Amino acid sequence: MDRAAIIGIGQTKAEGRLKEFNYAELVYPAVVAALEDAGITIDNIGNIVTTSNDFWDGRTISSMATGDVSGAWDRNISCVEGDGAFGAFYGMCRVLSGHYDTTLVTAYSKGSESVSAYITNAAFDPIYIRGLGLDMVSACALQARRYMSRYKISEEQCALVSVKNHRNGLDNPNAHLKLDCSLQDVMNSPMICDPLKLYDCSPISDGAVAVIFANQKKAKKLGRKPVWVKGVSLCMDTYLLGDRDLAECAALTKAAKKAYQSAGISDPRKEIDVAEIYDAFSYQELMWTEGLGFCDRGGGGRLIESGATGKSGDIPVNPSGGLLASHPVIAAGLIRIAEAVRQVRGEAGRMQVKEDVRTALAHGVNGACGQSHCVWILGRE
């Protein structure tokens, strides 16, 4: 089997409201930056995969809006709906199938033009659940409570994630929120949906990202600093929240196991140098670190307290500030990939966790309470 590498990344700075741009104008600079980063022009791009969501865009066939700015004119193109990490997976497959040398993958969100509560409410069963008013925040609050009570995780332990990631965000030139907050600030921030307080929740940001994949031959020829895909896997859990034990994340565990297998990783905590994971809420980072095998089930709280997931810890998580610092929905998972690439290249600036990052993990999520996960292992060789 051929191998794929990431040879270019481009990103816009995430903001609360990028008033002067429409969706397409948001994507264009990310595409240009990715091409520049790879040192190639659009003529080198074999095909394009855009990632979008019709509900967030208020537009059916949302892929239509960003085809031209992604350089798709007279080229093969497709569109994945959902998180950008999943779009990246299809983009990579289109390189590995032998049809294209390169794939440009784009993802974006203009959350400022959307009402998250209505949009995410539409993800729930129209007959039985929607009328209850459930949205992503209230559903995740249920999950947080279940997880916290099952594993005796405290609100303070969750708040530590918020403190860490917001401080990390100060080092990230592309981050939306620049928030130097203390544990007390998080605990005192307004209650959004018990137990989630304002600073436990990610913002809704405007932003875009582009990533270029290449096959082995092309990556070696074109890529200035190719970062190789060592393993990637996806897995989806069941839909109805009542059908799942929300304290658990079996789908993530399964996806991670498979990705580790492909990458030849047996001890993720030791072998992974840095992880960029999908922390839409502070408690999720704790849950996902458990699901990814960085600690035992229920050990997420102690892990954050130990400082291990801090920038100088033994398994730094979200040195970019993660979703808590900027959350352009849909783009978020692809941004994790871009940040992981930066770390492996040693080009993450003040976010860089150490000079010699050999293996980085990136993670994307679709659906409520982590129903569907996508885990990427990227490396230098």
Partner 1 sequence: MARRAAIVATGQTHHRSIRRDVNGQELINEAVMRCLEEGELTIDDIDAVLIGNMDHFEGINYVDCWSVDGSGGFMKPTIKLTTGGTTGSTLGIAGYHLVASGAFDRVLVIGWEKNSESDTTGAINTAFDAIWDRPFFAGAIAGLAVMAQTYAHLYGATARDAARVAVRDRHHACLNPYAHLRKETSIEEVLASPMLADPVCLLDMCPRTDGACAVVYAAEGIAEKMCSQPAWVHAVASRHMYSYISDADTGTGTMISMERASAELYKKLHIKEPRKKIDVIEMYQPFSWAGLMWIEDMGLCKKGEGPKLVWDGATDLGGEIPINPSGGVVATNPIGATGLIRCAEVALQIMGKAGDRQVPDVNLAIATGFGGCAWTDLLAYGKKKPT
Binding part of the chain for partner 1, among 201-209, 217-225, 227-235, 352-360 by CB under 8 A, reads 227-235
Q: Residue 233 interacts with partner 1 (CB under 8 A)?
A: yes
CA distance 300 to 319: 17
- Binder of partner 1 out of 11, 12, 66, 168 (CB under 8 A): 66
Q: Residue 332 interacts with partner 1 (CB under 8 A)?
A: no
Q: Is the dihedral of CA 345, 351, 354, 357 positive or negative?
A: negative
Q: Residue 219 interacts with partner 1 (CB under 8 A)?
A: no
User: Nearest approach, Cβ of 82 to partner 1 (angstroms)?
Assistant: 5
Q: Give me 74's structure tokens.
A: 């007279």
Binding part of the chain for partner 1, among 12-20, 59-67, 183-191, 313-321 by CB under 8 A, reads 59-67
How many helices and strands (H and E) does the chain possess? Answer: 14, 11
Give, as ranges, the residues between 264 and 323 that touch partner 1 (CB under 8 A). none
- Binder of partner 1 out of 32, 42, 64, 117 (CB under 8 A): 64
Q: Residue 78 interacts with partner 1 (CB under 8 A)?
A: yes
Q: Where are the alpha helices (DSSP H) in the chain?
A: 23-38, 54-57, 84-96, 116-121, 136-151, 155-169, 183-188, 216-222, 250-263, 268-271, 282-291, 300-306, 322-325, 332-345
CA distance 336 to 140: 21
Q: Are 244 and 283 in contact (CB under 8 A)?
A: no
Task: Please choose, from the candidates 223, 208, 216, 229, the residue with its C-alpha nearest in 3D space to the C-alpha of residue 44.
Answer: 223
- Binder of partner 1 out of 25, 29, 42, 81 (CB under 8 A): 81
Give, as ranges, the residues between 22 and 41 that touch partner 1 (CB under 8 A). 24
Q: Residue 2 interacts with partner 1 (CB under 8 A)?
A: yes
Q: Residue 126 interacts with partner 1 (CB under 8 A)?
A: yes
Q: Are 279 and 324 in contact (CB under 8 A)?
A: yes
User: Nearest approach, Cβ of 371 to partner 1 (angstroms)?
Assistant: 5
As to burial, measured by CB atoms within 10 angstroms (0-12 exposed, 13-18 middle, 19+ buried), residue 180 is exposed
User: Nearest approach, Cβ of 127 to partner 1 (angstroms)?
Assistant: 8
Q: Give me 1's structure tokens.
A: 């089997």
Site size with partner 1, rule: CB under 8 A: 63
Please, what's the b/e burial string for 343-363 (b: 16 or more CB within 10 A of its CB; e: otherwise)? Answer: bbbeebeebbbeeebbbbbbb
Coil/strand/helix, residue 3: coil
Q: Residue 89 interacts with partner 1 (CB under 8 A)?
A: yes
Q: Residue 92 interacts with partner 1 (CB under 8 A)?
A: yes
Q: Are 331 and 106 in contact (CB under 8 A)?
A: no
Q: Residue 17 interacts with partner 1 (CB under 8 A)?
A: no
Give, as ranges, the residues between 128 and 187 that touch partner 1 (CB under 8 A). none
Give, as ranges, the residues between 334 and 373 that touch partner 1 (CB under 8 A). 366-368, 371-372
Q: Residue 221 interacts with partner 1 (CB under 8 A)?
A: no
Q: For partner 1, which is the closer residue by CB, 239 or 271? A: 239
Q: Residue 236 interacts with partner 1 (CB under 8 A)?
A: yes
Q: For partner 1, which is the closer residue by CB, 233 or 309? A: 233
Binding part of the chain for partner 1, among 58-66, 184-192, 196-204, 347-355 by CB under 8 A, reads 58-66
Binding part of the chain for partner 1, among 50-58, 290-298, 310-318, 348-356 by CB under 8 A, reads 50-58
Q: Is the dihedral of CA 17, 20, 23, 26 positive or negative?
A: negative
User: Nearest approach, Cβ of 181 to partner 1 (angstroms)?
Assistant: 31
Coil/strand/helix, residue 339: helix
Coil/strand/helix, residue 161: helix
Judged by the rule CB under 8 A, the positions of this chain that interact with partner 1 are 1-2, 24, 53-55, 58-69, 72-82, 86, 89-90, 92-99, 119-120, 122-123, 125-126, 233-240, 250-251, 254-255, 366-368, 371-372
